[in-house]
Amino acid sequence: MKGPWEELSRAGLEGLAGALAAGRISGPYSAGALGRHLPGVDLANALAELNRLHDAGLPPAHLAEVLRAVAAERKLREVTSDRVELVWTGPEMPGSQSRETAIVARELFARARRRLLVSTYAVFLGKDVFEPLARRMEEVPDLRVLLFLNVPAPGGADFDPDAVAREYFREFLKKNWPAGRQPELYYDPRSLAAKADERAVIHAKCVVVDGHTALVTSANFTEAAHARNIEAGAVVHDSGFAGSLEAQFTSLVAAGKLRRVFP
């Protein structure tokens, strides 16, 4: 059910608050009096609420403060909606207000100028998924791309972790990375711990562009996840959030917790 102020715009709320504070409107309130300040607006719910508050003893000056508070909340909501977008893969119903994962990923790749971070758990048919990023790396020679991937442990316990990681990334570059300049490759050494109960994986799926925009999603970097699966995420246009997310990875690299591999 809609609240009493939903039909009023933020400007309408602020204008009505000003009229109340200046004494140009007083209770009991009428549709005619409100309509002079808010022409062409459905005022039924707002009028009922104003008269309810008037009957409860709230003077116009206090009502003005209520409306200013609602307007301030509306402004914050509008700003937030511009900063966060729903990202979706899969079937959509009419009226959906989401953006496709593949489209958002391509837009973020194309926007990168200095630094781009990608983390994913799984990659399949990666040449198609990463082609826009590889093209951007050719367009911007100074673009630094950091790619964090999970390296699965082989069967058994008798293996050389460094050799396994190098071989995994050699195969990744051969099968899943387009021709051209290569990204920096990182993994979590705990994924290859000798004891199975000490292993951990990189399961985060995210993209961070130049420290100011971030995509966090359930979608791996696979053709199915970007085109057919049901996947949900959000792209956040906020340097504070994006910078913090990027720092989570880069600080672990600096501390040696996440390790770069040179295949």
Q: Looking at residues 153-158, what average pLDDT do you find?
A: 82
Residue 81, beta-bridge partner list? none
Q: Looking at residues 251-261, what average pLDDT do you find?
A: 97
Q: What is the pLDDT of residue 1?
A: 45
Report yes or no: 100 and 88 within 8 Å, Cβ to Cβ: yes
d(CA 114, CA 162): 29
Q: Cis ω on the peptide bond leading into residue 28 (within 30° of 0)?
A: yes
Q: Structural domain boundaries of the chain?
A: 10-82, 90-261
Q: Is the pLDDT of residue 233 over 90?
A: yes
Superfamily of domain 90-261: Endonuclease Chain A (3.30.870.10)
- Give the CA distances from residue 136 to residues 116, 132, 181, in Å, rounded to whole numbers and listed in that order: 11, 6, 10
What mean pLDDT value characterizes the chain? 89
Report yes or no: 93 and 192 within 8 Å, Cβ to Cβ: no
Pairing, β 115-120 against β 184-187: unpaired
The order of strands in the sheet holding 206-209 is 99-100, 84-89, 231-236, 213-217, 206-209, 115-120, 144-149, 184-187, 259-261
- Supply φ then ψ for residue 33, to 5 degrees: -65, -45
Report yes or no: 121 and 205 within 8 Å, Cβ to Cβ: yes
In a 13 Å sphere around the CA of 194, the CA atoms on its Cβ side amount to: 2
Cα 54 from chain centroid (whole Å): 42
Q: Is the pLDDT of residue 193 over 80?
A: yes
Q: Is the pLDDT of residue 152 over 80?
A: yes
Residue among 138, 69, 104, 108 at smallest CA distance from 225: 104
* pLDDT band of 40, cuts 50, 70, 90: low
Q: Is the dihedral of CA 130, 222, 217, 84 positive or negative?
A: positive
Q: Looking at residues 152-167, what average pLDDT do you find?
A: 89
- Residue 206 DSSP one-character state: E
Is the pTM higher than 0.85? no
Report yes or no: 84 and 170 within 8 Å, Cβ to Cβ: no
